[in-house]
Amino acid sequence: MSHVVDFANVSTIGLESSPVATALAGLRANEARYFKNKYDHDFTVEPASEARDTVDWVHRILREERGLVIAARPLEATAFRVENIRWAYVFYESGLSINVLYTVDDAGKRAVGFKLSDGMEVPAELASFKFARQKSRLAGTIRGSFFVIKGEY
């Protein structure tokens, strides 16, 4: 069942099995606040088992662009479109969040972003990436990285 992420009252609903559930919930709330403030979009997630198309799309891009296979179990996902940009997010049990920004126009930006929840180690499959740190009131310290998508998806 899908639910709108509340960034005023952060909840671990849907993320309880994560060893960093509180930090991951803060990271998810941080994303929800960004989309509400920038696009007036309600960030709605659903269990990954109900969002297989979204999870499969993100995993296909990772595999085809960089040969990456994420070992952690996906817990939740969402996909939506705002201002001609297709967005997809997958939140993993390990505390990892992966997002895809895919501008529908041919000349637009297309990238995959990785964010690590406070308290988690860098997953082995992402060890080659450099992560920058940012502070968040909702999520503590977020470590993030990205790569540009070259193919068509």
Residue 45 lies in a domain: yes
Say whether pLDDT at 105 is over 90.
no
* Structure-token match 């990285």, residue found: 145
pLDDT in tens, 55-64: 999 999 999 9
pTM recorded for the entire structure: 0.95
Query: Shortest CA distance to 17 belongs to which of 47, 60, 51, 59?
Result: 47
pLDDT band at 16 (very low <50, low <70, confident <90, very high): very high
Residue 119 lies in a domain: yes
**Which strand ranges, in their side-by-side order, compose the sheet holding 85-92?**
3-4, 44-47, 74-82, 85-92, 96-103, 110-116, 140-148, 132-136
pLDDT in tens, 140-153: 889 999 999 999 99
Query: Shortest CA distance to 58 belongs to which of 16, 22, 96?
Result: 96
Residue 101 lies in a domain: yes
Say whether pLDDT at 106 is over 90.
no
* Structure-token match 């296979």, residue found: 69
Query: Shortest CA distance to 146 belongs to which of 110, 94, 105, 108?
Result: 110
User: Which residues form the domain of 52?
Assistant: 3-148
pLDDT in tens, 46-80: 999 999 999 999 999 999 999 999 999 999 999 99
**pLDDT for position 1:** 83
Give me the number of domains the chain comprises: 1
**pLDDT for position 63:** 98
Contact between 6 and 29 (Cβ < 8 Å): yes
Distance CA 3, CA 143 (A): 26
pLDDT in tens, 34-45: 999 999 999 999
Residue 153 lies in a domain: no
Residue 115 lies in a domain: yes
